[in-house]
């Protein structure tokens, strides 16, 4: 694109809430955390220990900031994505010389986005639009704020490693945060699709991230079949190995992201939002914690029911019991919070 005005050929979503596209497990965690009075303030103060200002200055001094005169096409994509998702402020975009195909969102008070040159070289314009929309989705959801928890805990774990069981406790919490972060990546993929509104471009981007630039050597249906094969996974031992492989990963594997994006595009949610039926930001404060916990629990149940993984089949009963117990526990907490809100109103 060469125009310096937002692209109005795509559907725009005025006032859209991030709840519209967030994976239920991601959304429930965010709604619960946002409901804790003063939580953001405390977390922002802790995040200050990582010197967000110093990090931004590092990128300002050592990379290229996109603008109307530098990386104009990416700058316009950023502005378009912010316009389509109705982001109040357009984040700064930095391009860094790095052959690894990657992009990331950094910062709490004023989040900014960094794109590696390796990603620009790998993807075409519509695929890049999907990735930039993905990062804008992280900004709109506030994922950068809550991911700071993982950084804080990692730093804390290094300091208390000498304490008996101290590092084990931190590691257990980090495993839970990694599971949430993997779901947040699925949320951001959906935001990328809403920003670009090109399902095939989103799927191509994920295929290229897995297999490189030679798209003619890859096939979408075969890649989806690969996702099904990964899910089925042979026997219980393979399923356990998959579980262990994921524990310390912040991102789902590419085939999983591909299959999840394909399913979300086909199951009606994407079309519903395109048609103007979506949650509004103005209603975020009235979101029910207990309802979101139920939605997250149901999402896990549906995922288990869809899966052909023998390991999931073997442990589904135990997992179902844990989810039921958690749903009851957090449901009581949520109802209490909802009741308090009603009394205040």
241 and 158 in a common domain: yes
308 and 243 in a common domain: no
Q: Across the strands, what pairs with 113?
A: 93, 105
The pLDDT score that the predictor gives to residue 63 is: 98
pTM of the predicted structure, to 2 decimals? 0.80
Residue 168 in any domain: the answer is yes
Q: Is the Cβ–Cβ distance between 96 and 115 less than 8 Å?
A: yes
Q: Which of 290 and 139 is assigned the larger pLDDT?
A: 139
Q: Which domain holds residue 294?
A: 288-345
Residue 42 in any domain: the answer is yes
Q: What is the mean pLDDT of residues 255-271?
A: 96
Q: Which of 183 and 128 is assigned the larger pLDDT?
A: 128
133 and 152 in a common domain: yes
226 and 119 in a common domain: yes
Residue 8 in any domain: the answer is no
pLDDT, tens digit, 9 for 90 and up, residues 56-114: 899 999 999 999 999 999 999 999 999 999 999 999 999 999 999 999 998 877 889 99
324 and 176 in a common domain: no
* pLDDT level of residue 160 (50, 70, 90 thresholds): low
Q: Across the strands, what pairs with 96?
A: 116
238 and 342 in a common domain: no
The pLDDT score that the predictor gives to residue 339 is: 45
255 and 340 in a common domain: no
Q: What is the mean pLDDT of residues 220-247?
A: 87
Helix (H, G, I), strand (E, B) or coil at 212: coil
214 and 176 in a common domain: yes
Spatial neighbors of 297 by CB under 8 A, at least 6 apart, are 323, 324, 326, 327
The answer on pLDDT for 128 being more than 90 is yes
* pLDDT level of residue 253 (50, 70, 90 thresholds): very high
The lowest-confidence range among 67-71, 161-165, 167-171 is: 161-165
Residue 227 in any domain: the answer is yes
> Where does a domain end: 228, 248, 278?
278
Average pLDDT over all residues of the chain:
81
Count of domains in the chain? 2
Q: Is the Cβ–Cβ distance between 257 and 185 less than 8 Å?
A: yes
319 and 199 in a common domain: no
194 and 332 in a common domain: no
159 and 254 in a common domain: yes
Residue 2 in any domain: the answer is no
Residue 5 in any domain: the answer is no
The answer on pLDDT for 165 being more than 80 is no
* pLDDT level of residue 344 (50, 70, 90 thresholds): very low
Residue 270 in any domain: the answer is yes
Residue 300 in any domain: the answer is yes
pLDDT, tens digit, 9 for 90 and up, residues 16-35: 999 999 998 888 777 766 66
């Amino acid at each position: 694109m060469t125009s310096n005005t937002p692209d109005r050929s795509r559907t725009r979503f005025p006032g859209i809430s991030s709840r519209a596209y967030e994976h239920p497990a991601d959304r429930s965690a965010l709604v619960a955390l946002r409901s804790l009075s003063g939580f953001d303030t405390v977390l922002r103060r802790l995040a200050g220990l990582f010197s967000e200002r110093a990090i931004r200055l590092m990128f300002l001094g050592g990379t290229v900031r996109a603008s109307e005169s530098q990386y104009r096409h990416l700058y316009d994509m950023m502005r378009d994505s912010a316009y389509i998702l109705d982001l109040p402020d357009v984040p700064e975009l930095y391009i860094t010389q790095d052959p690894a195909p990657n992009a990331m969102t950094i910062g709490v008070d004023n989040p900014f986005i960094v794109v590696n040159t390796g990603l620009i070289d790998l993807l075409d314009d519509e695929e890049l639009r999907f990735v930039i929309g993905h990062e804008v989705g992280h900004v709109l959801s506030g994922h950068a704020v809550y991911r700071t928890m993982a950084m804080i805990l990692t730093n804390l774990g290094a300091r208390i490693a000498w304490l008996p069981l101290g590092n084990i406790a931190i590691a257990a919490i980090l495993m839970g945060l990694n599971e949430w972060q993997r779901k947040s990546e699925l949320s951001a993929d959906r935001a990328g699709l809403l920003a670009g509104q090109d399902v095939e471009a989103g799927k191509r981007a994920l295929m290229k991230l897995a297999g490189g630039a030679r798209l003619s050597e890859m096939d979408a249906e075969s890649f989806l079949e690969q996702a099904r094969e990964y899910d089925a996974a042979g026997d219980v031992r393979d399923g356990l190995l998959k579980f262990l492989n994921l524990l310390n990963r912040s991102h789902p594997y590419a085939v999983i992201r591909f299959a999840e994006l394909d399913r979300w595009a086909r199951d009606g949610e994407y079309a519903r939002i395109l048609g103007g039926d979506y949650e509004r930001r103005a209603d975020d404060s009235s979101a029910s914690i207990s309802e979101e916990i139920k939605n997250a629990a149901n999402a896990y149940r549906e995922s288990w029911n869809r899966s052909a993984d023998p390991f999931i089949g073997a442990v589904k009963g135990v997992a179902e019991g844990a989810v039921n117990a958690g749903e009851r526990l957090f449901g009581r907490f949520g109802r209490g919070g909802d009741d308090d809100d009603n009394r205040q109103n």
